[in-house]
Structures are given as C-alpha cells and as structure tokens.
Structure 1
Amino acid sequence: MTRKLRLNAFLMGVGHHEAAWRHPRAEPAHLTDVRHYQRLARIAERGRLDSVFLADGLALRGDVRHNALGGLEPLTLLSALAAVTDHVGLIATVSTTYNAPFHVARWFASLDHISGGRAGWNIVTSAGEAEAHNFGVERPAHADRYARADEFLEVVTKLWDSWEDDAVVGDRRAGVYADTEKIHPIEHAGRYFQVSGPLNTSRPPQGRPLLVQAGSSEDGKEFAARHAEAVFTAQQTLADGQEFYADLKRRVARHGRGPGELLILPGLSPIIGSTEREALRLEKELNDLIIPDYGLAQLSHLVGIDLSPDALDRPLPEVSADTEGAQSRRRLVLDLARRENLTVRQLLVRLAGGRGHRVVAGTPEQIADEIQEWFENGAADGFNIMPPVLPGGLEDFVDQVVPELQARGLFRTEYEGRTLRENYGLARPASAYAAGERLEPVAS
C-alpha cells in the first residue's frame, strides 16, 4: 500500500504566532469561545486531516500583558468538538506529573466513547517550576518525571484493558448486563502507584486511545520508542529531521516494534500567500507586531538567564544546554542561534512564529514542496500543522495546500475509517487479559 501523509492541526488559541492576537485576521475574544474551536475542527475535517490537537499546561505561561493567554481545559473542549464532527481525531495534552492514573484512564475512555473512537492522549511530564508550585510541590527531577510517567502509563493501560471488549452482554431476558469474568481487577502495586481497579468505564472503542508524545530529550525519545504511536517534534532543518527520524525508528526496533507503529510528525507553521511576495508580506505583518519585552521574557525563561533589552542587538550569551526543564527545546534554540549567528532580536523573530518549530512562508505549491521533501526523504511521516493565525491560516492550508498534496497522491481524499487509529493506519490493540496474558502487579 502506498504510504500516505498524516496531518494533524495543532489548534493554539487564535494562532501560533505570538502576535497573532494583534492581527486583523484574528479575534482575541475567541480564546474562550467554544464556537471558534468547533469551527476549526470542522475546517480540519473538511480537509480530511487526521486529527486536531490541543496543548495544555498547568500554569499561566508567559506574560498575559502582551499575549492572549488563558484558554480552555482541553478534554472538556474536545467533548464539545466531538459533538460537531464525525471523523477527525481529538488529541489532548494531559500531564502524568500532577494527575492520578485512574482519573486519566477514565477521562480518555469517556472521550473515546463520546467521539466514537477518536481520542488521543499527548503524554507530558510538566517541566515547569510554576506548574509544580501550583500543586504545592517542588518540580521533580527530569529522570524521576519520566520514571513516574512510565509507570503511570502502565497503570492507565491496565485500566483500559480491565474490561474485555465483549464484557458487556446486555442480556435483558437473563438479567445479565455484564460478564464479570471479563472484568478484571488490576491490583497494581508499584513504586509510584497502588491501584486496585477495574476501571468504572467500559473498554474504549479503540481499545486504547492513541498515545502521543512530544519530548525529544533522551528520556523522552526512549519513552516514545517504548510506548508512543505518534510523536510531535520540533526540527529546524531537513538534516536534523532525518537524524531524529532515523534515531527514533532505530529505538522503536530495539523495543520489538515495527517502524510503522510510531508516526513522527514535526511541527510546521505555514504562512501562505497566492504568491511568495504575498506570503512574505503576511510574515512581515505578523513580525512587525512582535513586542520585544514579551519575547525576551519567554527566551529568558527558556535559556535560564535574565536577558535585558540591552542584549537585543548582541549574540545570545553562552548558555549551558543542561536543564531540569524543557531540555530538547533549549538545545534546539541554542543550536539555532549559534548555527545562524543570530542576535537576540533576530532569534526572537525566528521563535515568534512557532516557538522553535519550522516556519515556512510561500505559495501553496512551495509549502507542499517542503512537506513532500521531508516526507519522501526520511524526515517525517507527516506534519503537525501550526497555523500562524486562526481561523484563516487553517482555512488557507485546507483550501490551498491540501488539494495540492492530494493532486500529488500524497494525502487522502476520503477518510479510511471511523476511528483515529484506522485513519492513522494503526492497529487496534486487544485487551491483554483477553489475549490470555496475566498482567502481574509491579513489585514495590
């Protein structure tokens, strides 16, 4: 079967460019308007995109004085999007650091039932100190966060599997609703969690909602290779994308999985014009709306030093790449600054459009060329599309770039199935209990 692109729409408020809220094509009041997001989901479905994705954090990130921040909780919102769509997948970020496995298993099982099998979980470990302080604790070390996440996912998977697919009988005549021989306590006892089970929600339509991961540190890549079925990543160059892609596919093989069991989707922010000049003009319009104080505060937090306005026209100072926070993103930004010998001001402009993700301005054909080059040269299985301004940027991509990709035979013209797994070309896992395996409790 011919390999096809996978395309996810990353929905970020009124756009991914940090100045999007100031642009005439955006409306900041839409940030908490469910109708705005429902419109975006319908646009994505009209374009036959695989999924939409809502990121999340557990603290107010950035300076709300200069940016439209403070959106809606993603699982609540995705339930509203499920009601107005039929095919597009629904992926949300939920942290393993400040939640309990039972809650998360139930939330995503419920979303999968509500949507008819379209739920996906972007698994994060919450790198920020502000997030930890919102829960009255100190931020765990990087390795500890991933160790907890590993066991967290194990518990969630056991809970999803705790009801076999045919556990619900619904025999009215016999008075039997469920076959309790097919509903299993999990009796998990581990380092971080003790959970009896079973889940109090029946098995999700997909068996297990799709598992997504977005970290590119060493711990993050190993976690993805063991567990994830899609990876959202940030790569600036084709060579970097190829290196990451090859590395992760090798890791997947070492864990006994096939290369097609993990889809790699780099972020791409397309600025689209009918001509290249028009696209570059839109890019300039957005960049002219940047507020340097906002960018400086964001960059200071990322690189771990306090950058004053006096630093704007000088190179970024030497900074260690080591951090207990967002390791891979800090390394990407430092590499970008050094590779292109950027001043701080120039770096702020480069980061404004996608926070380290690749930004490409051009015609629909040029955007399609970029996508095709990465897809056909071992750098991507598809892309996490990050429109600079919403809703217009997503409409431009769906109405102008998607037809070009379809004409080249790279992207579907109709959905392959009803569930997110079917459309991503991924197998539906059986319950480990039904498969005859005994899920042994983890030793303390």
Structure 2
Amino acid sequence: MSDRSLLLALNLDGAGNDPNDSANYAQEAEHAGFHAVSFSADGLLDAVQRASFSAPKTQRIALIPVIDALFTEPFHTATQLASLDIISRGRAGWILETQNDSVRAQAVGREPLPVHELSTEAADVITTHRRLWDSWEENAVIRDVSSGRYLDANKLHYADVQGKSFSVKGPAITPRPPQGQLPIIAPAPLFTDEGLQHCRLNGADVVKLNGANLDELLAQAQIASRKGAVAIDLDVYLDTATETGARRLAAQGVQATERAEFTGTPKQLTDFLTRFAEATANPGDQRRHLVHLFPGDLRVDSQVLIEEVLPELKHSNLLAPVGNTLRESFGLPVAKNRFQEAS
C-alpha cells in the first residue's frame, strides 16, 4: 500500500546568493507541503549557512545541507549540524557527498583518495559524527547556581574515534541535538561490506540512488527499500502553459548531471511519483522514502510543483505527514544515546 508514504524535498540551489531568497523559497515550499528543502554551497555562503539562515524563518519544513565528507573537518561539521538542529528544533539532516577531487584535497594538504577507500573514509566520518552527537547525555546541562556548575561532567563522554586519516577525541562543544541523531543520506556506492553500513549507530539512515533513466531508478529503489529508507535524485523540467520542459532544457544547453532527468507534464510527474511510492511500499516497515527534486529553473519549476503537482499528490493521499522532526518524517526510531544505554 502506497498511501502516505512519500517524502518530497526541493533543492534551492537556484535561489542565488541572497540568503533571503533561499528563505523565501523555503517558506513557499513549507506552505505548499514539501517535507524538506536542500542547500549546497552557493556563491559566498556554504550549505549550512544557507540552511541556518532559513531555520528561524520556517517552522516545520526540514533543512538538509549537502556537505562533503572527505575534506571537511568532522569535528566542525558535527558541531555545525548539531547547531542547525538546535536552531531548527529538530528539522536538520545531512546529505553526504564525497567530492574526491585534487583541488579540494590540496586545499587541506591531502591527496584524493583511491576509489576503494571512499566507503571506509565515509564510515569513519559518520562514526565520528554519531559519537560526537551522543557525547553529551540528554540532561548534561544542569545550570546548578548553588554549586556554580553549568554541566555535569559525568554526563559528557569522549568520542574516541581513530580513523585511517584522522582521529577525534571529543566530547562535542555543543549539547546533543534535539533529534539525538540527525538523519544522514548517503550515496549507494558508499555502502559496502567493509565500509559504510545502513544501520543506526554508526551508519547512514537513507540510501541515495542514481539511475541512468527513470525505469532503472525505480528498479533500484524497489530493491534497496527492502533494507530501509531510500532517496532518489531527479532533475525536473516541467511543461508550462507556454513552453515544454524539454524545450526549456534544450534552450538552456546545460551539461547533463549524474541525476536521472524528468521532462514532461505535471500529470506525468505525478504518475511517476505514484509508481515510486508503489515500488517502495512495504506495509511491515514504517520508514518512508524521499524524492529529491532539482528544478531546472527554480523560479519556473517550483511554481508548477507547488500549484499543480503537490495538490494532486495530496488528493491522491500519497504524501506522508510532516513530522515534528525529520526523523519523524522518515519514520525512523527515536535515537537513544549510546552512552546512556551502556550505563
């Protein structure tokens, strides 16, 4: 059964350099019923900055930055993402990327990694984030005026992660985020027997799939969804009253991305999303699945999505409810603190 199983995210990379524009689009997406918006580095602002600016200007929509896991300092990104979750009151997530190019590597004094090491490096990075987010117990902040103590030191723990290319001792410098553990979305090629796993404690929560075409993407999603939550990326160029999406795509002359591409009418996109919901349906598993939409032209395609696609999805009862947190929207279990569970 596919009822109320679909999550939709809208990428806002076409909003431009003014963070107010990103926030305005995020508000529009929230009012329309999107579950999340995503941000990459755009101009002078990085993804977390753009998401953080939008956080106090929105109320329910999730905010998911895209962050490289290879050549960014895990301690810093764990702190940034925890802070975003605090600002948004539990609406933050992380789309993990591995941007394994020489320019980024050399900027931090490293070399690009061999392809076979990407999975283990991603696993080390995610383990670091997970343990840092757990390093403060829920009630570590006591604000005891009589003793002059802000923290109960016994409720702070060392992360103690020794990766192949870095080590982190911890604990974090921020309290545990409201969700406990932010949902992490990672590309399918990173999931291996020796490296990154699809699991709660030290792995990623959602497998992100790519396909050469829509049918291949659906086939992958059907198989992967048997093990847990999945996400698919989709470039969308929608028909309008004056021009087809295919014609707009051709006129832009843009270089093809690695993502699957959709061009067509709003009805055809709705039909595809229905097929995705049916392909990933699993009555015995409450986890939900994400379609991450990348508008060819944010100004044009977001309006078509808001005015024509989302109303039809709501009418068809396909959209999952928007949870109080992103974990709730995905149907993920409550993230218990590993250190408290061990005590």
The bucket for the TM-score relative to the shorter chain is 0.7 to 0.9
* Counterpart AA for 1:365: K
Q: Which of 271, 276, 288 is residue 369 of structure 1 equivalent to?
A: 271
1:165 matches 2:138: yes
Q: How far is the alpha carbon of 1:140 from its aligned partner?
A: 1.2
* Counterpart AA for 1:245: A
Q: Which of 228, 236, 243 is residue 204 of structure 2 equivalent to?
A: 228
Q: Distance in 2 between matches of 1:211 and 1:239?
A: 25
Q: How far is the alpha carbon of 1:165 from its aligned partner?
A: 0.9
Q: Distance in 2 between matches of 1:220 and 1:244?
A: 18
Flag structure 1 segments of 5+ consecutive residues without an equivalent. 15-30, 57-68, 253-258, 296-350, 438-444
For 1:19-418, what aligned pairs fall within 5 Å after superposition? 31-56=16-41, 70=43, 72-173=45-146, 175-216=148-189, 219=192, 223=196, 225-226=198-199, 227-249=203-225, 252=227, 259=228, 263-273=229-239, 278=242, 280=244, 282-290=245-253, 295=255, 351=256, 354-362=257-265, 364-378=266-280, 381-412=289-320, 415=322, 417-418=323-324
1:420 matches 2:323: no
CA RMSD of superposed structures (Å): 2.7
Q: How far is the alpha carbon of 1:83 from its aligned partner?
A: 1.9
Percent identity, aligned pairs only? 26
User: Structure 2-normalised TM-score?
Assistant: 0.87
Q: How far is the alpha carbon of 1:173 from its aligned partner?
A: 4.8
Flag structure 2 segments of 5+ consecutive residues without an equivalent. 282-287
Q: 1:141 to 1:103 in 2, by over 3 A?
A: same
Secondary structure of the structure 2 residue equivalent to 1:8 = strand
Q: How far is the alpha carbon of 1:157 from its aligned partner?
A: 1.0
Q: 1:136 to 1:195 in 2, by over 3 A?
A: closer
Name the counterpart of 1:25: none
Q: Distance in 1 between matches of 2:141 and 2:47?
A: 29
User: Structure 1-normalised TM-score?
Assistant: 0.68
Q: 1:410 to 1:217 in 2, by over 3 A?
A: same
Q: Distance in 2 between matches of 1:355 and 1:200?
A: 37
* Counterpart AA for 1:145: L
Name the counterpart of 1:301: none
More strand as a share of residues: 2
Q: 1:360 to 1:110 in 2, by over 3 A?
A: same
Q: Distance in 2 between matches of 1:410 and 1:221?
A: 36
Higher relative contact order (CA 8 A, sep 6+): 1
Q: Which of 323, 335, 338 is residue 429 of structure 1 equivalent to?
A: 335
Q: Distance in 1 between matches of 2:180 and 2:259?
A: 34
Deviation per CA, 1:263-318: give whole Å up to 9, x if none.
Answer: 2222223333366xx552x4313412327xxx4xxxxxxxxxxxxxxxxxxxxxxx
* Counterpart AA for 1:244: Q
Q: Distance in 1 between matches of 2:164 and 2:103?
A: 25
